[in-house]
Each structure stands twice: as structure tokens, then as C-alpha cells.
Amino acid sequence: MIGVLVIGAGGHGRVVADILLRTHEVGGNYKPIGFLDDDPRLLGVRLLRLEVFGPISELDRFAHDAAIVAIGQNSTRARIFKSLRVKGERLVNAIHPSAVLAPDVSLGNGLMVCAGAVVNPSTRIGDNVILNTGCTVDHDNVIGPHAHVAPGVHTGGGVRVEDGAFLGIGAVVLPGRTVGEWAIVGGGAAVVRDIPPRVTAVGVPAKVIKQHESGGLAHGDRAGEP
């Protein structure tokens, strides 16, 4: 059994811990042993029968075999992921038993594939990506590191989602389109043309409404929702 510390005890952290528990129940090697979170109100709290041990900075204090960064906000997740990789931490994947992945899908490290997600052939998923509940990623997609594909998103064939991009709940990306790095696509949007890097785009069809000075989501899991 490989004991995994879950970094982040918010909503997404609990989802990821549940994925690891469900996977362990059906014979997987990974088992969550507890959470780390910087919210002092969570210290000692038990979530899914797992304790919040302490802040993220105290990772080395707690015996573990591996870790996973389970934070919805892309920029925060990317920063912590990179710092743990520099330290030599083993970063594992959490893939729900109900997810369907084609045999030739390429997977990075430290990524999360939630319940009901479907990933079709010849797709590449980068490090630290979230493929959230019930999303579908069609053939020949490239999902860049630190991207977040929210629940119910559907991408057509040959789509590129660049590093750190966020696709909001229920968004649709037509075949062959690109969503630029650190871009935000609002919930329910329809991407019919390429979305430039570091912008927010919303609506049907998706139109740019804002440019960003720097990458990342500003308001957690719900950032980019119109």
C-alpha cells in the first residue's frame, strides 16, 4: 500500500481523497492517509474519516510515500506542484474507477481524473491536470500542464488546451480549436474560434471580455464562471 498525503482539504481535496479511496477499494495501491491544508480552522478536523494533519509547509513532518496536490485553483496548484517536484516528492495520479481512458492515452504526473470522465484515443494529458466529473475529452486532444477541465465540459477532436487554462462547467470546445495558456472559458460557453492566452472568454459563441496581466485563476474553483 502506498500512503498518499492529499494537499488541500477543500471541496476538490475531498473529491480527490474519495477517488483514492474508491480506487483502493477495487484493488489499487494508493490509499489516502490524511490531508494538509493552510486553513488553521481545519487542523485536526476529520473529512472522509481522514485527519487534516497541519499546514502544507509541514509536509516533511508526516510519514508518507507520495502526495497529490488537490487544489482547484490552477495557479496555486501549479506553484505547489512545482515546489514539491523540486523537493523530489513522489506525485501520483488519482483516477476514479468509473473513468474511461483509451489504452493509448498519455498521462503526466500528479493529475486527477474524476468520476465519469471519458478520454478518447491519442490524447495527451499533462502534469497536474484536473479532468473533472463527467467531462469528455475526445480523440487527439492535448491538455497542457496545470489545466482544469471542469464538470460536464466536452471537447471535440484535435483540441488543444494550453498550460494552466480553465474550462468552466459545461463549456464546449469545437474540434480543432485551441484555448491559450492561462485562459479562462466561462461556464456554458461555446468555443468556436481559438481563444488567446491569458484572457477570459464567455458566451455562445465565446467572446473575450477581459485580459489578464498574469496567469492563473483569481477566485478558486469557480473562477471564470459567468
Positions annotated as catalytic residues are 139
Residue 214 grid cell: 498574469
Q: Report yes or no: 2 and 29 within 8 Å, Cβ to Cβ.
A: yes
Backbone phi and psi for residue 20, each to the nearest 5 degrees, phi listed first:
-65, -40
Cβ atoms of 181 and 163 closer than 8 Å: yes
Residue 134, C-alpha cell as written in the block: 463527467
25-33, long-range: CB < 8 A, 24+ apart: 26/97, 29/1, 29/2, 30/2, 30/4, 30/66, 30/92, 30/94, 31/1, 31/2, 31/3, 31/4, 32/3, 32/4, 32/5, 32/6, 33/3, 33/4, 33/5, 33/64
Beta-ladder partners of 125: 107, 143
The SS3 of residue 149 is strand
Angle formed at CA 89 by CA 52 and CA 109, multiple of 5 degrees: 100
